Amino acid sequence: MRRFILLIAVVVIVFTTRHIWMEPAKELLPASIIDPIQRDMDSSVDHLSDLVQSILPNQNSLSQTEDKEIERPAPELGTPDQLFSVHNTELGDSRTDVENELGEPMRTSRNEYGLDWVAYHDDYHEFVMVAYDAQDSVKGLYTNQDLISSTTPIEYGTSKDVVREQLGEPEAYMRKGLYRYEVNQDQEYDLFQLGDSYVTVFYDKHQDNMVTAIQLIDSNLEQSKKELYTQASNELKEGFEYQLFDLTNASRVNHGLGVLTWDEQVRETARNHSSDMAENQYFSHTNPQGQSPFDRMEQDDISFKTAGENLAYGQMSSIFAHEGLMNSQGHRENILQDRFLRLGVGVAFNDQSQPYYTENFFTS
């Protein structure tokens, strides 16, 4: 019995002091080692707690306290289950209810979660993308327009400081399988795990870090995606291309600009450059043959009076690629250039399924 009590004491000491030694350990050991230790330790403590309760019934209050510490529930915000909605639509709503609110979809394209983004808009006004599961239940939402509602003071145009005051510190890492990936490195967005959803709030660095877009993803859907990058496919490539085109037009409408026309011919020019970068492992507007974007367009018999090119690499989706481009001054200027009339987007993946994005803008 003394040995058993000693064992309990040792485990309790190790567990209750983990806030002291776990963080330094994370700095010295990779996540693939330290996280299984954390997971196994929590599992062992749960098992031991159950065993202690069966032997020492009068320790129930201690066991319940331990369980609460392990679970670490989200802070109580005094709000309903859903903190956010987009155009009166929430996660879990039915497709029937959504389309009664938003109307008929304008485009359906594959996304990184193995579902489709279904886009709703009126000539890119009131732009919303919705992801449905096999039961037509909403599992993902996105908008980059003034369509955000919340039980908190957060809305389109709210400052980053207010967002963090309301939601707390954002996540620093996202777990995928055995690995943890650092997020929010450039401070262009914040990721929060709130109840049964992951909320990504995007900021506009050129407008005082105000909220410019929001993405809501069901927690189970996010956790079902075991890798940072989704396995490359032609369907995903085309999905990313059309999504980036739609996101660009939605941003132009926000700034009072005209909608760009999709151009199939320059899409091939863009695809070829993305493929070249992915296959030859470089990232530049000038290819190894010394050709500029304008040289490549002329080579493909595309006549233009003015033209421009945007490149992005490594972002896990078209949404993150677009928000990053909007926070880069030169790329932003191309997206919001009123002289451009046409756009083609080309995507390619390298052998690690990392996407390369090329946007070619022009006016004939």
Closest by CA position to 159, among listed 213, 206, 208, 222 = 208
Closest CA to 270 of 290, 250, 249, 240: 240
**Predicted local confidence at residue 54, as pLDDT:** 39
Each residue's pLDDT tens digit, 242-275: 999 999 999 999 999 999 999 999 999 999 999 9
Quick one: pLDDT band at residue 144, thresholds 50, 70, 90?
very high
pLDDT in tens, 18-43: 544 545 444 444 444 344 444 444 44
Consecutive H or E run containing 151: none
Question: What's the confidence (pLDDT) of residue 222?
Answer: 95
Q: Tokens 């926000």 identify what position?
A: 254
Residues 6+ apart with CB under 8 A from 198: 191, 192, 216, 217, 219, 222
- pLDDT score recorded for residue 185: 75
Query: For residue 302, what pLDDT is reported?
Result: 97
- Say how far residue 219 (Cα) sits from the centre of its chain: 12
pTM for the structure as a whole = 0.78
Q: At 288, list the tokens.
A: 């190894």
How far is Cα 120 from Cα 130, in angstroms, rounded to an integer? Answer: 8
State both tokens at 358: 């090329």
User: 14: which 2 tokens?
Assistant: 């190790």
* pLDDT more than 70, % of the chain: 78
3-state class (DSSP) for residue 337 = coil
The C-alpha atoms of residue 111 and residue 96 are separated, in whole angstroms, by 21
Average of pLDDT values for 194-220?
Answer: 96
Q: What is the pLDDT of residue 174?
A: 85
Residue 165: name the closest of 248, 77, 93 by CA. Answer: 77
81-123 tens-digit pLDDT: 689 999 999 999 999 999 999 999 999 999 999 999 999 999 9
Mean residue pLDDT of the chain comes to 84
- Higher local confidence (pLDDT), 70 or 33: 33
For residues 337-357, average pLDDT: 97
Number of residues written out for the chain:
364
Instruction: Tell me what pLDDT residue 9 has.
Output: 53
Q: Is 342 in contact with 364 (CB distance < 8 Å)?
A: yes
* Distance between CA atoms of residues 123 and 257, nearest Å: 12
- On the question of pLDDT at 59 being above 90, the answer is no
Look at residue 17 in the predicted model and tell me its pLDDT. 52
> In the prediction, which pLDDT does 347 show?
98
Dump the DSSP string for 161-224.
HHHHHHH-SPPSEEEETTEEEE--TTSSEEEEEETTEEEEEEEEGGGTTEEEEEEEEEHHHHHH
Helix axes 31-55, 60-71, angle to 10 degrees: 160
Is residue 165 a contact partner of residue 218, using CB atoms and an 8 Å limit? no
Tokens 């506009």 sit on residue: 204
Between these two residues, 153 and 26, which has the higher pLDDT value?
A: 153
